[in-house]
Amino acid sequence: MKISRYIKDSPTLKFSELAKERNRRRERIISLGISEPAFDTPLPIIDATYDAIKKGYTKYSNSLGLIELRELIRDKLLKDNGINASIENIVVTPGAKQALYLALMALLEPYDEVINITPCYVSYIPQIKIAEPTAVIHNIDLKKDDFSLDWEKIENISNKKTKVIIINFPHNPTGRMLHKDEMDRLAGIIRDKSCYIISDEIYEKLNFSGLPHYSIAAFKDISERTVTVNGFSKAFSMTGWRIGYLTANKEVIKIVSKIQQHINTNTCTFVQKGACAAFSLSNGHVSSYNKELKDKASLMADIIESNHWLSLVPPMGGLFAFLNISRTGLSSDDFSFNLLSKKDVAVIPGVSFGEQWDDHVRISLVAGKDEFEDGIKRIDRFVREIKGI
Ligand code: PLP
């Protein structure tokens, strides 16, 4: 089949299948591979959804999304992100993942160049290739010492053919966020090169850095060339509900809405009603969850600090830490599979997120505190044992 020529199987899906298989055999596994928050979807969202079903929100909705939901998203974008969007510029989609794909479908034309920051979310590269098989992808690595953007490389590689830069902060898998001066510099590049930027802000609310989250679309002069993607999966633990959204200029929205009409018709109508209830929550659930994530990240840093073969750039947000295993001499695949078989701990090999990241593994901060601590201690012991200590 045509698609199989350029789309590889998702390596993290394969790996979690392996861990699930061991779970199915009732073998105790500590999964540090999980990519969804541990808390339940807040009850008011569930109640509002039940209510919507009973009240007949079971038919097609406006393809862009229910007006009342888009009004709430518009208000949120202005209040939280400084983005001045109208409801005509917002499309509700079945997940942020679908929003990303629709944006790529709308923007990419044959032989366009895309700057993709690596390590990256496993779906970016396949999505670019599905949206436009001839697209030229420039994968630009974050700097290994602090996961900051490599400005020189980005500036050197971007040219007239650069159609779009994709960013994701808070970042999966490193947990990095952008500081204000970095955001200014990035905005300068978009201005100079007149390209688009897709900003995936799905982890916006999972922020334990003490610093504000910045949205690139808040820069008025480049907001027209920005597609901001966000959703409900991470902030409201709604991964299975499949609801997200994007905001972009009118031209992009016109194409996105045409594709959406023919691919999805609309996002599930009663799920949209449920999502409306998310905006009346106090977000206290996220503050306490961020505290838990921060505590686990510090706990991990303390354990790792005394291990000469491992190093860590502490995460600032999101759900993950990206552990440097280069001094162990193992590839990320070997490290992960051996760790699973010898210590029953599942992590995700760094190579899943980019070719140059075979010297890292992604550790999810989602497991309960005791299980998490046990998992990190096992990683520490595993490395000491292979090094003969
Ligand atoms: N973007 C990033 C960076 C992600 O990590 C994920 C999911 O893990 C998504 C998008 C997809 O989010 P959704 O569940 O809303 O489709």
Kindly list the strands in the beta sheet with 113-118, ordered across the sheet, starting from the edge strand earlier in the chain. Answer: 90-93, 244-247, 226-231, 196-200, 162-168, 113-118, 136-141
Bridge partners for 226 per DSSP: 197
Choose between 381 and 8: higher pLDDT. Answer: 381
- Per-residue confidence band for 23, with pLDDT thresholds at 50, 70 and 90: confident
Per-residue pLDDT, averaged over 235-262, amounts to 97
How much is the pLDDT for 2?
67
Nearest-CA residue for atom 9 of ligand 1: 97
Q: Is the pLDDT of residue 18 over 90?
A: no
Cα 168 to ligand 1 centre (Å)? 10
- Per-residue confidence band for 10, with pLDDT thresholds at 50, 70 and 90: low
How much is the pLDDT for 240?
97
- Per-residue confidence band for 4, with pLDDT thresholds at 50, 70 and 90: low
Cα 55 to ligand 1 centre (Å)? 30
User: Within 10 Å of residue 328's Cβ, how many Cβ atoms?
Assistant: 20
Q: Is 169 in the pocket of ligand 1 (CB under 6 A)?
A: no
Structure token digits, residue 41: 């979807």
How much is the pLDDT for 21?
78
Global pTM value: 0.96
Q: Which atom of ligand 1 is nearest to the CA of 200?
A: 1
- Per-residue confidence band for 27, with pLDDT thresholds at 50, 70 and 90: confident
Q: One-letter amino acid identity for 95?
A: G
How much is the pLDDT for 12?
52
Each residue's pLDDT tens digit, 77-117: 999 999 999 999 999 999 999 999 999 999 999 999 999 99
Q: Which atom of ligand 1 is nearest to the CA of 318?
A: 5
Angle between helices 332-343 and 11-24 (to 10 degrees): 10
Average pLDDT of the chain is: 95
Nearest-CA residue for atom 2 of ligand 1: 121
How much is the pLDDT for 166?
98
With a CB cutoff of 8 Å and minimum separation 6, the contacts of 17 are none
Q: Is the pLDDT of residue 6 over 70?
A: no
Mutate to test the pocket of ligand 1, among 13, 41, 118, 121 (most ligand atoms within 8 A of CB): 121
**What is the three-class DSSP state of 191?**
helix
Structure token digits, residue 280: 């009346």
Contact 317, 177 (CB under 8 A): yes
Per-residue pLDDT, averaged over 347-365, amounts to 96
Q: Is the pLDDT of residue 342 over 90?
A: yes
Cα 308 to ligand 1 centre (Å)? 33
Per-residue pLDDT, averaged over 229-239, amounts to 98
Lowest mean pLDDT among 6-10, 11-15, 270-274: 11-15
How much is the pLDDT for 1?
66
Contact 182, 192 (CB under 8 A): no
Beta strands (DSSP E) in 251-352 are 311-312, 320-324, 345-346, 348-349
CA distances from 357 to 242, 323, 324 (A): 29, 10, 9
Cα 381 to ligand 1 centre (Å)? 32
With a CB cutoff of 8 Å and minimum separation 6, the contacts of 139 are 116, 117, 118, 120, 125, 354, 355, 356
Each residue's pLDDT tens digit, 113-157: 999 999 999 999 999 999 999 999 999 999 999 999 999 999 999
Nearest-CA residue for atom 8 of ligand 1: 35
Nearest-CA residue for atom 4 of ligand 1: 121
Per-residue pLDDT, averaged over 312-325, amounts to 98
Each residue's pLDDT tens digit, 175-209: 999 999 999 999 999 999 999 999 999 999 999 99
With a CB cutoff of 8 Å and minimum separation 6, the contacts of 167 are 117, 178, 186, 197, 198, 199, 200, 216
Structure token digits, residue 120: 């990256």
Per-residue pLDDT, averaged over 352-363, amounts to 96
DSSP codes of every residue in 366-381: -S-HHHHHHHHHHHHH
- Residue/partner pairs of 324-331 with CB below 8 Å, 24 or more apart: 324/144, 324/359, 324/360, 325/350, 325/359, 325/360, 325/361, 325/383, 326/359, 326/360, 328/383, 328/386, 328/387, 330/386, 331/358
Mutate to test the pocket of ligand 1, among 10, 34, 97, 177 (most ligand atoms within 8 A of CB): 97
Q: Is 244 in the pocket of ligand 1 (CB under 6 A)?
A: yes
Cα 229 to ligand 1 centre (Å)? 10
Q: Is the pLDDT of residue 350 over 80?
A: yes
Choose between 179 and 7: higher pLDDT. Answer: 179
Mutate to test the pocket of ligand 1, among 100, 198, 233, 364 (most ligand atoms within 8 A of CB): 233
Each residue's pLDDT tens digit, 263-287: 999 999 999 999 999 999 988 899 9
Cα 69 to ligand 1 centre (Å)? 20
